[in-house]
Structure 1
Amino acid sequence: MTTWPTGLRGPAWGADYNPEQWPEAVWADDVALMRRAGVNLVSVGVFSWALLEVAEGRYEFGWLDRVLDRLHEGGIRVDLATATASPPPWLTTAHPEVLPETAEGVRLSHGSRQSYCPSSAVYREKAVALAGALARRYREHPALAAWHVGNEYGCHVPRCYCDRCAEAFRAWLRSRHGDLDALNEAWGTAFWSQHYTAWDQVLPPRATPALGNPGQLLDFDRFSSDALLELFKAERDVLREVTPGVPVTTNFMVTWTFGALDYWRWADEVDFVANDHYTRADDPERHVELAFSADLARGLARGRPWLLMEHSTSAVNWQPRNLAKQPGELRRNSYQHLARGADGTLFFQWRQSRAGAERYHSAMVPHAGPDTAVFAEVERVGAEYARIAELVGSTVEAAPVAVVYDWESGWVLGQPAHPTVDFSHREHALALYRALWRAGVAVDFLPPGAPLAPYRAVVLPALHLVDDAGPYADYVEGGGRLLVTYLSGITDTRGHVHLGGHPGAFRDLLGVRTEEFFPLAAGQEVALDDGSSARVWTEHLRAGDAEVLASYVDGPLPGVPAVTRRDVGEGAAWYLACGLTGAGLDRLVEAVLDHAGVPRGTAGVEVVRRRGARAGAPVSWLVAVNHGGGDAELPAVGVELLSGERVPGRVVVPAGGVVVVREEV
């Protein structure tokens, strides 16, 4: 099986290319500018269904023929989209049942994008037919490097509640639970007289007079992720049948779909992982969130090279305040992704649109044209990518620390009727990652159930759904260091609370017992006796045989333990029972790292090492990105590939700059 776009030389560099938005006379200029910018891969046709199938069964491929021919003549490879991300108006007008419905029963209309129900047989039939027609048309085209199915599944319509989805949901539940007795047990339907006696009584979690059933909500989240995945697989399978040597993928949004999809399941179904990522302009540490996303994408790829399918050259168009990127930020962002395992970085999009909903979204070629600072930076990075082609195929060396990330736990913790609305699973995990990043420590992301033994330390950020903590106890007994945070182990994987006190499944391992949650009021902050502070969360904890590292000095629980550690076998387990903030969280993470013997990096300088082979011999590359305001010096011996200069023992990473050193032992 082919697992990377074919025919590429060096890292992938390019963008979404939407020539259908422009007169054909512009296309020749596009290819000339792409060659000037070093572009070698573009995604084509992502939103072009209405122009490819102009009426039911009537395809017009002539314009796309000319686009692909022109790109091939320019030496540019094509990631060809199936164009099924938005059904055309003729389809949704003739078959309104294709359109999705909200939990309130509102049918959404066409007029934007992603206006389809994943359970619609009509939509699936038409989408698969278009994918097949494209595959048969272009299977021999020399520009074809990969297939791009759909686009950003679940981004706008993560859940549909229509009657077709109700039928599909019931079939999914039969497969998962077997019979109604098992379903009633899993959902706890004895509560509020919800006991089901026939399958046709079971519905999606539509709008109800009061709070919905948590088990029903969780299973519907699981079903909805699977329903979209089955839709992807239907198109993928016809592409594989017609073009077995062309890899197939779709673009994930691992930190931007609000946890709508379980990407651990999705990652096993693509030939290579591709991700879209956009920074938040209002986040002064947005480069850290970028690293979080890139490391998570690498985890999904199981350490293999992955592709950044989209990011922005400058401002986006959908944030409250769309601030332009600072000079050099485009370059640093690109190298961050490369450092963390990507073998290419593409943008949305090639040429900034003059019409449509995203006309103010930045692009490689801005409205002002190529005589701009943005295009100059694009040209610079494109030229540099040619100098570092030898990195392609290498992988990031294994990290000493792992974070177990669980989308299903995020779904449950986002449900209503939880102790506080101020908790965000993603933000909680990101806060812990920020502390690790500031310590200069590399991180691998793992799914629940993954082997832990290779790691010196493991962090569990609110791993809520846990049937059995035995594997984590075995890890600690064998010498591992485990940091467990509040809201971990509270329920089993059905969502049923473990009785006997929190943190449920982890209670014995941690040597603690929580009597009651004590979430804090909006904006409230409590002090701890080690000088740190906490927000959002506290709990009435009994330490048992665990060592108390910090207790509250004020708030609702003065004198009650807030942070504990318990030595177990050859290892140790920490419990963070509060929403520790800032420097206090940094100190706790550093204490765990110290105990595990994990070395630190240089503050403000992102340093990642990739390993592979060159001329048949093992080799490593040090990639360093300096986010600070001053130059930094790192130990290194080898050749700095961007400048071609020899590095005798120390390399200077300029403020806001990047170095890539092929190391010598």
Structure 2
Amino acid sequence: MTRALNVPGIAYGGDYNPEQWPEEVWAEDMRLMAEAGVTMVSVNIFSWALLEPSEGTYDFSRLDRILDLLHAHGIAADLATPTAAPPAWFFVKHPEALPVDKDGRRLSYGSRQTFCPSSPAYREAALRMAGELAGRYADHPAVVMWHVHNEYGCHNAECYCDTSAEAFRGWLQDKYASLDALNHAWGTTFWSQWYYDWDQVLPPRATGAVPNPTHRLDWRRFCSDALLSLYEAERDVLREAAPQTPATTNFMVMYNFDALDYWRWAPELDIVSNDHYLQSADPESQIDIALSGDLVRSLAGGPWLLMEHSTGAVNWQPVNRAKTAGELRRNALSHVARGADGIAYFQWRAAKAGAEQWHSAMLPHAGTDSRIWRDVVQLGADLRALAEVRGATGTAEVAIVWDWNARWALELPSQPSGELHFQDLVRAWYEPLWRAGVAVDFVRPDADLSAYRLVLAPSLYLIDDAGAANLTGFAERGGTLAVGFHSGMVDADCHVRLGGYPGAFREALGVRTDELFPLLPGQTVALSDGTTGTLWSERVGLEGAEAVTSYTDGPLTGVPAVTRNAYGTGTAWYLATHPAPEALSGLLERIRVEAGVEPVRSAPAGVEAALRRGTEADYLFLINHTDQDAEVAVSPGASELLSGKPLVGGRVKVPAGDAVVVREPRVGTR
């Protein structure tokens, strides 16, 4: 069954928490939501303690009034199960449900997500609450979507208690069936770690030395699956009561969150949604927005919803900066450009008390006489003007391989270099494509690659046999594959692939490395094209490939640093170092041009260009991140949607710090 969101156009709103305010404030909320153009809000996310003041005793009267009020004012409700924050009475009765950290400390309640994901008592209570909500509100006319839980794993991705240990052993038994298979996969002959009984297997708790890498990797997989099972259980309760209402939960595809394997999660959601917050210390956070949006669209296989972002400063970073003039609008439209069919914020009204009282909101502490409020109202008008963009898709010919297993494995201890960070490496390769206006999808290693001309694998330390065969087969059949250093090194069990590096990719790349030479922090190595490499170097031997650049100083002078190999009817590139930004940009430009990949539109530096393809027209988003006006060529017959004006002369002006969205009629099959 297809479960679609029944909200017209681009949905607009945010988390609505009226229970935090006197009821007389609610009427003002409705009036101001109408002024801002709000069409959907998320409600009930953290209301468990109010709905169930004691076990089995419910009070839905407040939520009844909230949902009725929203419906009376034409605002749809994304109704949440409030299971991310169990009430105090639950933990007083079930202290064993509190999480335990790797050092053995049992944490206390008093914030949110203070539960063990494997706790039977928590699961029972959460499903009971989901059932009560489903039974009461399945047919409520305001409810258009179920919001299951909130930000799974944000604070409790790992629990090391005895209950979790038992659940972990069950997960391992399902995976391996026998202890012999587990011992082989984990390589437990090393350091006398062999297990003779399942009860001997524990979570990777704090210990005196480096933990077993495969043990730790399987633990990360288990933790992701444990939380996924909670989502599925709640979703199924809701689906039974309201089979046509879509269900979602908000992912966190952000720089600093890596707890969940969203490739496994995404197929279980009717609508994929995401929370995204800027890093205040990032001088070009617009690139992270684009990367995140492209990744979420790829997870969704099409349009998605932005469930949370901020109108201004957040409250949880060391320094929380406000957004500059025009940044709120640019941020939101960048998400739409990357496939978002809904834009929402945390939260509607800024809290005056509690842990997030200094987090920005659509209606700030200053009220309506504020720049944030004026920007929020303007954005509502913008999204109404973009209603026809809903459902339009992306048009990428480049794919970047993203894999959570590879990320987890790369960042385990005792690597050749502790300076390697998966998302930094991926962003370094993504950034030149973003600057050039090249459309990008993200794919898992075993994805269908037939739609792409170019596939990039910046960081695939771990790759299973099927994924490696899929990627090298893409090149063999005529595609262009580019692989970053320290990729293909270990299999799915985190065992080193023997015979020379880069392991799984050695034949396709036409190279063989016998020794690694990671660079010290701040150290560089000179390259034959006049540029430098950072982070990494290795002693590469050519076995069919040609050297594109070589090292010109240090112990590897004369050794290839970047190679190119004809493989089958395609081409495979290997980057055995991390070129400095300008060098990497130039190299990736050469690779994509040779692969026949063009930008979606030629635009001045600093002007972001992204394209969504509808059934009858293309929608060109141009976002100017500079302080200078810019002009971009557009197709004949184009019009600008935000202003509603036709364009003459084949060009559109993009004012400094602003954005335009151009509707271009479809010509032929373009």
**So what's the TM-score if we normalise by structure 1?**
0.97
Quick one: structure 1 residues 556 and 319, their matched pair in 2 at CA, closer, same or farther if it must change by over 3 Å?
Answer: farther
Aligned residue number for residue 663 of structure 1 = 664
Distance in 2, Cα, partners of 1:559 & 1:325:
48
Aligned residue number for residue 475 of structure 2 = 476
Aligned residue number for residue 72 of structure 1 = 71
Aligned residue number for residue 282 of structure 2 = 283
1:2 CA drift (Å): 4.3
Aligned residue number for residue 487 of structure 1 = 486
1:284 CA drift (Å): 1.5
What whole-Å deviation, never above 9, does each CA across 1:54-111 have from its counterpart, x for those lacking one? 1111111111111111111111101011000111111111101111111111111111
Distance in 2, Cα, partners of 1:60 & 1:318:
32
Distance in 1, Cα, partners of 2:77 & 2:533:
50
Q: Is the CA contact 1:2–1:246 (under 8 Å) kept in the aligned structure 2?
A: no
1:168 CA drift (Å): 0.8
Matched, 1:465 2:467: no
Matched, 1:610 2:607: no
Aligned residue number for residue 653 of structure 2 = 652
1:257 CA drift (Å): 5.4
Distance in 1, Cα, partners of 2:580 & 2:59:
58
Q: Is the CA contact 1:154–1:257 (under 8 Å) kept in the aligned structure 2?
A: no
Matched, 1:446 2:447: no
Aligned residue number for residue 393 of structure 1 = 391
1:269 CA drift (Å): 0.4
Once the two structures are superposed, the pairs formed by residues 333-352 of structure 1 within 5 Å of their partners are: 333-352=331-350
Moved more, 535-544 or 420-429: 535-544
Once the two structures are superposed, the pairs formed by residues 112-191 of structure 1 within 5 Å of their partners are: 112-191=111-190
Distance in 1, Cα, partners of 2:458 & 2:52:
47
1:306 to 300, 304, 307: 304
Aligned residue number for residue 328 of structure 1 = 326
Distance in 1, Cα, partners of 2:2 & 2:606:
38
Once the two structures are superposed, the pairs formed by residues 187-586 of structure 1 within 5 Å of their partners are: 187-256=186-255, 258-302=257-301, 304-396=302-394, 398-468=395-465, 469-586=468-585
Distance in 1, Cα, partners of 2:257 & 2:211:
20
Q: Is the CA contact 2:435–2:608 (under 8 Å) kept in the aligned structure 1?
A: no
Unaligned runs of 5+ in 1: none
1:578 CA drift (Å): 1.0
Distance in 2, Cα, partners of 1:106 & 1:254:
29
Distance in 2, Cα, partners of 1:619 & 1:571:
33
Distance in 1, Cα, partners of 2:54 & 2:239:
26
Distance in 2, Cα, partners of 1:176 & 1:13:
43
Distance in 1, Cα, partners of 2:180 & 2:256:
34
Distance in 1, Cα, partners of 2:571 & 2:359:
49
Moved more, 542-551 or 216-225: 542-551
Letter of the 1:107 counterpart? R
Letter of the 1:456 counterpart? R
Distance in 2, Cα, partners of 1:222 & 1:159:
11
Aligned partner of residue 553 in structure 1, secondary structure: coil
Aligned partner of residue 53 in structure 2, secondary structure: strand
1:546 CA drift (Å): 1.3
Letter of the 2:624 counterpart? N
Aligned partner of residue 335 in structure 1, secondary structure: helix
Q: Is the CA contact 1:609–1:622 (under 8 Å) kept in the aligned structure 2?
A: yes
Moved more, 357-366 or 550-559: 550-559
Identity rate, percent: 56
Question: How many residues matched?
Answer: 658
Letter of the 1:328 counterpart? G
Q: Is the CA contact 1:531–1:584 (under 8 Å) kept in the aligned structure 2?
A: no
Distance in 2, Cα, partners of 1:467 & 1:246:
37
1:392 CA drift (Å): 1.3
1:558 CA drift (Å): 2.5
Letter of the 1:511 counterpart? G
1:497 CA drift (Å): 0.5
Aligned residue number for residue 80 of structure 2 = 81
Aligned residue number for residue 624 of structure 2 = 626
Distance in 2, Cα, partners of 1:3 & 1:609:
26
1:256 CA drift (Å): 4.4
1:490 CA drift (Å): 0.3
1:555 CA drift (Å): 3.6
Unaligned runs of 5+ in 2: none
1:556 CA drift (Å): 4.1
What whole-Å deviation, never above 9, does each CA across 1:429-476 have from its counterpart, x for those lacking one? 111111211222110111110011221110012112223333222211
1:628 CA drift (Å): 2.2
Distance in 2, Cα, partners of 1:283 & 1:298:
23
Moved more, 103-112 or 600-609: 600-609
Letter of the 2:443 counterpart? L
Aligned partner of residue 625 in structure 1, secondary structure: strand
Distance in 1, Cα, partners of 2:622 & 2:369:
29
Aligned partner of residue 556 in structure 2, secondary structure: coil
Q: Is the CA contact 1:464–1:490 (under 8 Å) kept in the aligned structure 2?
A: yes
Q: Is the CA contact 1:563–1:576 (under 8 Å) kept in the aligned structure 2?
A: yes
